[in-house]
Structure formats: structure tokens, C-alpha cells
Amino acid sequence: MSVASLRLDSSLTGSHGQRFQRTLPSVARTPGFIFCSIKPSPSRASLTVAADPKAREGLSRTDSLSQVSGVLGSQWGDEGKGKLVDILSQHFDIVARCQGGANAGHTIYNSEGKKFALHLVPSGILNEDTLCVIGNGVVVHLPGLFKEIDGLEASGVSCKGRILVSDRAHLLFDFHQVADGLRESELAKSFIGTTKRGIGPCYSSKVIRNGIRVSDLRHMDTFPQKLDLLLSDLAARFQGFNYGSDMLKEEVERYKRFAERLEPFIADTVHVINESITQKKKILVEGGQATMLDIDFGTYPFVTSSSPSAGGICTGLGIAPRVLGDLIGVVKSYTTRVGSGPFPTEILGKGGDLLRSAGQEFGTTTGRPRRCGWLDIVALKYCCQINGFSSLNLTKLDVLSELPEIQLGVAYKQIDGTPINSFPADLSLIEQVTMEYEVLPGWQSDISSIRNYSDLPKAARQYVERIEELVGVPIHYIGVGPGRDALIYK
């Protein structure tokens, strides 16, 4: 059975969304950065722009982005945000993570095609002129961060003076990961399906106000007492959590060493970011996870513990809402999600397996196979409304190349046929919806080498333009492969 046989029966129905778009003035990039020793140099894009008409088109598109722009996920994560951030970072002075932790897995490739799997370090790190900021809204697992930095350095990517960690960011400890596993075991058949990276327990510590922040590493006289309080609380909460004085002593000694190594990276990133805005530096915000996993707007409780939608930018970096400009939503050409929770367009059985294999849909962080389905327009419109995206990046269009036909999930209906006019909060309702599909012809040809939109097969262009029509947001970037150059500017 080939990917070409992937098909589900559905009705030929559709709906038209109201088109909305925001246009903001661009702000010129100012050379230099007063907080580190990096000196600006011509970007890779600008070096080739004169000779390559396609490069001129891409440079015009990216240079027109606002001074403070963002790249956010618009499904359940794993849309390919890292690749776009890597490409756009060539035109920005700073790339900043604002939320989440090492549960975010962003896979990017350098100009030689070497693969990098990032979890905490922002995806702008491969651009040597970009400063990478880990903001106050991120939960930071120091062993993982140092392992990531060591791996980058070993691959020839310099991190010295190029990464700043907020002194307000909360520390995620190994024992948070233990607590994560214990919590999932408690839930049994109702488990969330977390990455077990300790994200939820760390944010829980933050919210109940016994968490430990990066700035606490500068006060080792009081660090043991704070750590004891945190460990004692977890031991009281989880029956299987073993805690004793030896554990406390070992952890304190371990974090004394971490504190010494981390010190050069620590900064008041709220001040850094806002001073950079004043100096007209360009800042690109990199979201982790995605809007459908947002703690408020996602399919709760099957969500992450942070705010990966637009509001998380302000709280996670200390940026005022009025300075936010263009927000780009990254959406896969089909839909995937990991873990538990409702998935209206999910393709079960061999069809889902074939799409998973064709798209290599296995988690960057965990390696878990992702659940796969058709593109859910209802959920995408909902994400666009919440975030006010100025444009979209449609990724993995090449994965659909072998299909004889492609389906779009365009409307939800209740069992009795009553239309549902918005994305429901009630999970039981989502699980019972009847999805209406619109069927479009496939193109059944390899598009991975195409770099101009006009060269795409007519059916591929029809698919792209129908998505634009349904959600009311233009698609400016189209991914046709994993490589850095496999991008079409529309």
C-alpha cells in the first residue's frame, strides 16, 4: 500500500472565513549591540541578493517585517517553527524564547545540511550575528542547557557571548521530571501524555510560589533552604517521591557548580530587550509548542503549562503589547499532535501510518510517533483569531505530493447536524463532532526542488489559495522540504 492510496470519504462542503490582515511599518535595523561583543556583518542573504532574483524576493519579504516580530505555532506543535526562525534570524539582531522549556524540540539545518535538534537554545544560534535570549517565561533545565551548548560548540557553533538567560527564569530540576512521571502514573488512563520533561511540575512550583529562579543561584547562602522547601513539598505531594538529607546536599553541591558556569550567561533580559527596542534593534520571538496547546486556549487539560500564543510574548519577555508587530503563524499542510486529547481530523489505521511515515512524524524531543490527520481549518481559524497573525508559513507541502486527493476539514457539526460556529471549550463536544470535509485534487509530483510559487503544480497552488481563502490570512512562506533552502516565498 502506497501513500497514494491515502483517502477518506467525506462530503464536498466548505465555508468562507472573513479576511483580516494587519499592516505595520517596518523599522530599520541598527548595527551593533551594547550588551555583548558581537559586531554585525552582512547577512548571508544580503551577500547573495544582487545575483539571485529569488533572494531579492525573500529579502524584501523578511526586511519588511516589524521591529518586534514573532513566529508561533498554530496547531498542536511540531509545525516546523525552528526552520523559519533560523531563516529569518539572518535579518534580526535578537532571537528570543518566551515560554516553555526543553519540551520544545526545534530541528534546523545549517548551510551544509548538518542537522541540529534544539530544545532550549533559540533557533537563531546558527546565525553568528544573532544574540539568543532565553526569557523569563522559560523554565530552564541547566543540565540540558549545558549539554545543548556543549553539542553546539563541538559542532563548531560558538555560543560564548551569544546566549543570555533571564535572571527571572525559573529553574527546572531533575526531580521535577520525576514528579512529572509520578503525576502521569496517577492519572492512569486519563494521562495527559506529557514529554515527562518536568514542565508542568516546574510551572506548578512557580505558580504556588515556592519555585527557584536563576537569580537565586547568586545567593548560595539561602539556596539550600529554598531547595529544601521545594523538595519537601514534592515529597509531601507524591507518595513515591523519595527525599532525604543526602539528596539535598548532593543537589546543592551540583548547583554550586552550575551557578559558576551559568554566571556569564545570566542577564536582566527584560532590560536588555527593552533597551534594544529603544535602540531600534530587530527582535524575533520564537514560540515553543503551539496555540492548541495553550494553557488557556488549547484543548485543556491536554495542553502544555505555558502560554504559547501571542499573550505569552508579553509576559514571557517583558515586552509591552503596543510594540508587538508582525506575528507569523506556522501551520503544517496537514495536522499532527502528540499525547492524548481530541483530534477531529485524525486519520486512524493504515492511512495515518502512511502519512506519518511520509512526513517522518516522530517527536524531536521524545521520538514518539505523532498522530496524523487532515488540516483542520476550524482550529486554524481559531488560532488565527487569537493571535492576529499577519501571515502564515505553510510547511511540509511536499509530504502531500503523492496523494491523489487531499481533504480539508472545514466545519464542525454536532451529532444532530447543528453547526458549531467556533472552536469549543468542551472536550466531550469536540470528541463527538462530525467533521465536514472539502476534497481537493492532488498533484502527485515531486515539488521539493521548486523555489518559485508560480512553478508549483496548479493543484498545489489551488490547495494553498483555498487555505488562505478559508482562514482569511495570507500564506507568505511555503516549506517544501527540511533543508534551509527548501522554502518558497509567496
Give catalytic residue positions.
78, 106, 206
Annotated binding-site residue? 126: no
Cα 237 from Cα 469, distance rounded (Å): 50
Q: Is there a binding annotation on residue 461?
A: no
- On whether 78 is known to bind a ligand per the annotation, the reply is yes
| Amino acid identity at 449 | S
Residue 80 known to bind ligand: yes
Q: DSSP class of residue 263?
A: G
The span from the first CA to the last CA of the chain, in angstroms, equals: 34
**Structural contact between residues 355 and 6, judged by C-beta atoms closer than 8 angstroms:** yes
Comparing CA positions, the residue from 408, 398, 405 lying closest to residue 456 is: 398
Q: Is 304 annotated as a binding residue?
A: yes
On whether 209 is known to bind a ligand per the annotation, the reply is yes
Judge whether 257 is annotated as a binding position.
Answer: no
List the one residue out of 131, 156, 129, 153 whose CA is nearest residue 45. 129
195 is in an annotated binding site: yes
Residue 237 CA from chain centroid, whole number: 31
79 annotated as ligand-binding: yes
What are the angstrom distances between the C-alpha of 94 and each of 139, 223, 284, 410, 418? 19, 31, 6, 38, 48
- Residue 481 counted as an annotated binding residue: yes
Helix, strand, or coil (residue 255):
helix
Q: Does 83 carry a binding-site annotation? A: yes
376 annotated as a binding-site residue: no
82 annotated among ligand-binding-site residues? yes
Greatest pairwise CA separation for the chain in angstroms: 68
Dist CA 401 CA 301 (whole Å): 35
Q: Per the annotation, does 393 bind a ligand?
A: no
Handedness of CA 263, 155, 88, 128 (dihedral sign): positive
Nearest to 397 by CA among 328, 317, 465: 465
Question: Annotation-wise, does 162 bind a ligand?
Answer: no
DSSP state for residue 483 in the 8-state scheme: S
**DSSP alpha helices (H): ranges in 165-310?**
174-187, 199-207, 223-237, 245-262, 269-278
Output the nine-digit C-alpha cell for 425. Answer: 471549550
Q: Which residues are known binding-site members for GTP? A: 77-83, 105-107, 370, 396-398, 479-481
Q: Give the residue ranges of the annotated binding site for IMP.
A: 78-81, 103-106, 195, 209, 289, 304, 368
Q: Which residue numbers belong to the known binding site for Mg(2+)?
A: 78, 105
In the annotated binding site, the residues are 77-83, 103-107, 195, 209, 289, 304, 364-370, 396-398, 479-481
Annotated binding-site ranges for substrate = 364-370
